[in-house]
């Protein structure tokens, strides 16, 4: 994903469901670009405790699945005021970019209309009313 520089403040919704995580996560394009740049420019041995990006991706995916199970079992803990939830969301964003860099697969974005539909039906919506933006030249999919 390479947004135009004037779109760096735009927000996209990342579909974590394609990774087996029951969440969509909002991230600015500047944040995604920053993570991607670090992953592409820093040596591989700085990731995953010296074992590289692929190992880091595998370990983070396992941890995200554990956290996902925790939040499914404890929906009252889904809150932007909960540090554990915020860290989970941040880790999801990092994982999406890491997965894209390691596998070459695109980051799957949720179409803004579908985001509106999904958030209105969600058991918990911790987005504080923030909505993603549909940008030209960046594909967003309707999931499910």
Q: What is the pLDDT of residues 22-32, one digit of tens each?
A: 888 889 889 99
pLDDT of residue 127: 55
Query: Residue 140 falls within a domain, yes or no?
Result: no
Percent of the chain with pLDDT over 90: 52
Which structural domain, as residue segments, surrounds residue 101? 10-121
Question: 3-state DSSP call for residue 104?
Answer: coil
Query: Residue 32 falls within a domain, yes or no?
Result: yes
Number of domains the chain is built from: 1
Which sign, positive or negative, has the C-alpha torsion 89, 95, 101, 107?
negative
Report the pLDDT averaged over residues 54-74: 96
Pairing of strands 109-110, 24-28: unpaired
Report the pLDDT averaged over residues 12-31: 90
Q: Counting beta carbons within 10 angstroms of the beta carbon of residue 44, is it exposed (0 to 12), middle (13 to 18) or buried (19 or more)?
A: middle
Q: Answer yes or no: is pLDDT of 134 > 60.
A: no
Query: Residue 134 falls within a domain, yes or no?
Result: no
pLDDT of residue 8: 63
Query: Residue 136 falls within a domain, yes or no?
Result: no
Query: Residue 138 falls within a domain, yes or no?
Result: no
Query: Residue 73 falls within a domain, yes or no?
Result: yes
Query: Residue 126 falls within a domain, yes or no?
Result: no
Q: Answer yes or no: is pLDDT of 7 > 70.
A: no
Give the Å distances, CA to CA, from 14 to 49, 50, 51. Answer: 26, 28, 26
Q: What is the pLDDT of residues 84-128, one digit of tens each?
A: 999 999 999 999 999 999 999 989 888 776 665 555 444 445 555
Query: Residue 129 falls within a domain, yes or no?
Result: no
Q: Answer yes or no: is pLDDT of 140 > 90.
A: no
């Amino acid at each position: 994903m390479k947004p135009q520089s004037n779109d760096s403040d735009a927000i996209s919704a990342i579909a974590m469901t394609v990774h087996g995580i029951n969440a969509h996560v909002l991230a600015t394009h500047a944040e995604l670009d920053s993570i991607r740049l670090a992953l592409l420019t820093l040596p591989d041995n700085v990731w995953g405790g010296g074992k590289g990006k692929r190992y880091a991706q595998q370990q983070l995916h396992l941890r995200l699945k554990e956290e996902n199970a925790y939040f499914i079992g404890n929906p009252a803990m889904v809150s932007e005021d909960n540090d554990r939830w915020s860290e989970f969301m941040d880790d999801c964003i990092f994982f999406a970019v890491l997965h894209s860099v390691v596998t070459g697969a695109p980051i799957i974005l949720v179409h803004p209309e579908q985001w509106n539909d999904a958030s209105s039906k969600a058991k918990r919506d911790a987005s504080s009313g923030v909505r993603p933006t549909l940008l030209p030249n960046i594909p967003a999919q309707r999931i499910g």
